[in-house]
Chains A and B, each alone.
Chain A
């Protein structure tokens, strides 16, 4: 070994261990890079770091500020669970269109508020999983399809695709001259979603008490005339629905939002009457469904509603039956008292019937009485939410208390109010404010009712602290008079479900008609009628640009060859 080599330190080469070390470093760096790449977009979605700039002319890429504000109040993320299934032909195409637009809206909503909204799209081929999930969400009728269930915590709202989110004209699927395809008449995904958000952000669920002990319909009963399905539906819609055991305690608790009296057959006690009156006078809400043939004397529900400006006269509202073949009208059948109220008989703007009106729905009211206007409380107003047709009449009972279902002398002709919504400021000793809204609260669903603090009720069972409290806490009193208890019964519940739930939601001030700005579709239409514009476009796009590219390429090649 040479002296030069002995004195010089050994050279280090890239041996296997060195390569292994370098490889490990590279691998570690790569893993860190992947982690960073995954973390950066996640971080970018956090509030305060996330920004969106909508460049579109129509603002279609942004949520309405109302919706964004509604999402912002939630501490826990809102979850929108999508259960979509394509309808059967011939409505498959329109169903697919509505589903696609709804999914697009939900994508937009999630992109706009990624930390506030999660969207879960369920695979409906797994029917058992869908039913299980809907059971967990406590929605009625497990196996619901074409719904979006919006929930946060214990609160939830169900949006039906073809009722709440859109209106569809089913067209005429029959082949031939009369064929008309199904089309989307209106699409209101954001409005429906915003309404659902408002509903589930309400905090404490509204509480409904049902009067008992006077022969009312059984809240938990499942027989034909009982209202067990009302109870189930209210609970599913986020209400607390309980019987009022007034015999044990005639007071109405302060946290009750709505009192419902469904066909009481016996008079109330004086204590109960006072409690109910005071409950309403301090801004409470009542659903009064007196049976048309129920007693109407003192201390009955008839007398109560008279205090609030509604008179339920004796008799049943009937209408003639029309023979579908001969178009002749017939009377004398009990079926004449089975009313089918279409959109002609609905208020198009009241929160209870507006969705029904829009959706071209109808309601069934069998054995229904009429509602007449009495002396309204000061500042009060009454809206006829449902009305009978002009060919209806009020059939009066005969001497034996039976009906003949025929128009007789002395019987009044229609139309009649079949359901009246009464609102008035909370009664007080001081002069009330001028009027209350004629309809339920529009826009933000606010129901600030004005009026002064009342001091005139004394120490009465059920008197709320709010009666002497902050005026801003008091709200308008609402009474819904529907003299047709059978409409809430088991048999007709499904047919009248929307009416019933809308009624309770209106009474509980959950009439969430959130005003969302309409979106301009931003149409920019080229005139294709004479073909000139299309030809010009075709020349520019299919010939002009490629031709320019080809020419440039050839010129460039020639220039290179010369140089």
Chain B
């Protein structure tokens, strides 16, 4: 565990040592801020709906969710591998799992920092005399962090597969987009696949549908154990795959 914490601190600090993270954060905050006021205007000043759009109900949210994790994780393994730092890290007295876990936590923490701006928006509304639904904001934040963890884990897998960060980012973005296509495939299952709507394949797609899991819980202001475990399980799966890929570098 101490290894995880050490790696996490190093990675998180390292994110902010490079200008990339600051630029990403600045741009994301700027765009989110501008769009939040647009949502407020469009909703006639309804704060709760603007907050829920900001935390899941908008294209901007998914653009950030698809693009930021790959950009954050693309260098975490691939660049270290190409620069030789990874070999140094692998010979350190930390397990491969601790290395991956630390990096994953660092990337997820960065994303959590981004999504935590919703609390600032809600706080601003509170100061202006309008009480937002804090519970809903908290649940949506938790859902966003869990989803971010999943996308960061996918990014780490991509980063572990190659020594070129840009390729890693590209692969991760493609994988994220494909994951978000699952609801589309599910909704058109009878046309794309020759199966009725209650076929087990459609049910399996529902289980893998990230939007379905967020829609049924976080976006309603609910923490649902089944949906939390979905994100944790699939994040653990991709983290496991990343660990295995990092391990293979030992005997390449």
Query: Which A positions have Cβ atoms within 8 angstroms of B?
Result: 14, 19, 22, 26, 29-30, 33-34, 36-38, 40-42, 44-45, 49-58, 60-62, 79, 104, 107-108, 110-111, 114, 118, 120-123, 125-126, 129, 522-528, 533-534, 536-538, 540-546, 549-550, 552-553, 556-557, 560
Contact = CB atoms under 8 A, between A and B. Distances in A.
B221 A524 contact: no
A51 B224 CA distance: 6
A123 B188 contact: yes
A44 B226 contact: yes
- Top 7 A-B pairs, shortest CB-CB distance: A56-B221, A55-B135, A111-B216, A61-B220, A541-B33, A61-B222, A553-B22
B37 interface: yes
Interface in B138-176: 138-139
Interface in B216-252: 216-217, 220-227, 229-230, 232-234, 236-237, 240-241, 244, 247-248, 251
A556 B23 CA distance: 13
Nearest to A25: B244
Contacts of B191: 123, 125
B241 A524 contact: no
Contacts of B198: 79, 118, 120
17 contacts: A22-B251, A29-B244, A54-B220, A55-B138, A56-B139, A57-B221, A61-B217, A111-B227, A120-B197, A525-B47, A537-B121, A542-B33, A542-B36, A549-B26, A553-B22, A553-B26, A557-B19
Contacts of B120: 540-541, 545
Contact of A549 (B29, B46, B190): B29
A541 B128 contact: no
B97 interface: no
A117 B216 CA distance: 13
B177 interface: no
Contacts of A560: 17
Interface of B is mostly: helix
Given A542-B33, A549-B26, A537 B124 contact: yes
Interface in B1-50: 16-17, 19, 22, 25-26, 29-30, 32-34, 36-37, 40-41, 44-48
B30 A542 contact: yes
Interface of A is mostly: helix
B60 to A, nearest CB: 13
Given A52-B217, A526-B40, A556-B16, A540 B124 contact: yes
Given A37-B233, A114-B226, A523-B46, A534 B133 contact: no
B230 to A, nearest CB: 4
Contacts of A526: 40, 45-47, 125, 128, 130
A509 to B, nearest CB: 32
A126 B197 CA distance: 12
B125 A36 contact: no
A55 B33 contact: no
Given A123-B197, A549-B26, A536 B45 contact: no
Given A54-B221, A61-B220, A534-B40, A541 B124 contact: yes
Contacts of B80: none
B136 to A, nearest CB: 5
B135 A110 contact: no
Contacts of A22: 251
A113 to B, nearest CB: 11
Among B139, B204, B212, B217, the most chain A Cβ lie within 10 Å of the Cβ of B217
Query: Among A29, A33, A37, A538, which residue has the most Cβ atoms of chain B within 10 A?
Result: A37
Contacts of A41: 207, 226-227, 229-230, 233
A228 to B, nearest CB: 33
Nearest to B16: A556
Given A52-B223, A541-B33, 11 more contacts: A26-B248, A33-B241, A37-B234, A37-B237, A49-B225, A51-B225, A56-B133, A104-B215, A524-B132, A537-B124, A538-B33
B189 to A, nearest CB: 8
B136 A525 contact: no
A524 B133 contact: yes
Given A38-B207, A121-B197, A107 B22 contact: no
Nearest to B207: A41
Contacts of B232: 40
B222 A528 contact: no
A560 B135 CA distance: 39
A523 B48 contact: yes
B58 interface: no
A118 B198 CA distance: 9
B220 A58 contact: no
Contacts of A49: 225
B241 A123 contact: no
A30 B48 contact: no
B233 A534 contact: no
Contact of B45 (A42, A534, A545): A534
| Most chain A C-beta atoms within 10 Å of own C-beta, residue among B132, B190, B191, B226 | B226
Contact of A53 (B25, B37, B223, B236): B223
Interface string B48-59: 100000000000
A536 B130 contact: no
Interface in B97-141: 117, 120-121, 124-125, 128, 130-136, 138-139
Greatest chain B CB density within 10 A among A110, A542, A553 is at A542
Contacts of B225: 44, 49-52
Contacts of B251: 14, 19, 22
B87 to A, nearest CB: 17
A19 B128 CA distance: 64
B244 A26 contact: yes
Nearest to A14: B251
Contact of A110 (B45, B46, B216): B216
A557 B26 CA distance: 15
B97 to A, nearest CB: 13
Contact of A58 (B16, B17, B133, B197): B133
A50 B116 CA distance: 27
A34 B221 contact: no
A104 B215 CA distance: 8
B187 to A, nearest CB: 7
A542 B223 CA distance: 30
Contacts of B33: 538, 540-546
Given A41-B207, A546-B26, A537 B37 contact: yes
Contacts of A42: 207
Given A44-B226, A553-B22, A546 B30 contact: yes
Contacts of B131: 524
Contact of A44 (B32, B132, B229, B241): B229
Interface in B165-209: 187-188, 190-191, 196-198, 204, 207
A534 B207 contact: no
B147 to A, nearest CB: 14
A380 to B, nearest CB: 47
A356 to B, nearest CB: 33
B223 A55 contact: yes
